[in-house]
Amino acid sequence: MIWVLLAALSLGGCGVAQDEPHDSGPPDYRYRLTVEVDTPEGVRSGSSVIEVTQRLGRSGASPAHQAVYRRLQGKAVAVDLPDNRVLFALLRSDDNIEWASYVMQDIAPDIEWESWSERLDNMLLLEGPQDLPRYWPRAGKPGTRSALPMLVTFGELDDPTSVERVDPDDFAASFGEGVSLKRIRVQMTDDPVTTGIEERLGWLPNYYDKMLDGQRLNSVHAEHRLANDLSQGAFSKGILQ
């Protein structure tokens, strides 16, 4: 019954990037990441379509050990705010540099009797937009791991070292009174992958092999600490030359 349901979803535009038989492995898929911000001038929003390619492979020396390998293609979400400020929702979170590859799996329904590998296509069961929670729940304790992407802005868009972290619970500290995060949501889609972030950040293609402060390695002593933690991959994957 599950196979039939998934086949029907595939035919109905469920966001699968490639039509493959169910038993050929976990599906490739696309989803739209949308960020909405309340401002004194009304709601401002931006979105980006991201593609995740999945495959099963061997983990460790034993053939019985399986792992899923994910490849991401897409860009960060940009939201234009008042006073010519721009908010970016990155492809990573505060504690997971592969956040964008896992978020749909994390929000997918958990069917108890399924095996680990069978759960890799449960995002196909999601219908319509899904609002992300503030935190992911933890077994037996309140959630403490942010479910949201890392949010940043720039003091000057042409200066990568001016990147600043934005607190999702206190937008006013970065953008002024009356500005707050309304919601961040995801939705399965068949729309094409979003490109063009280099039109906003012309310097980005030069940072594929170094951090935004120009250094090759991370350092706790870096002058621009956040810029030293971020590189091109936080803003774009698989779409820049």
d(CA 214, CA 45): 31
d(CA 227, CA 105): 29
Report pLDDT digits (tens) over 59-94.
Answer: 665 555 778 889 999 999 999 999 999 999 999 999
**Coil, strand or helix at 205:** helix
When pLDDT is cut at 50, 70 and 90, the band that residue 19 belongs to is: very low
Question: What pLDDT is recorded for position 5?
Answer: 36
What is the mean predicted confidence (pLDDT) over 200-219?
A: 93
Report pLDDT digits (tens) over 114-137.
Answer: 887 888 899 999 999 999 999 988
Single pTM value for the model:
0.86
Pairing of strands 66-75, 42-58: antiparallel
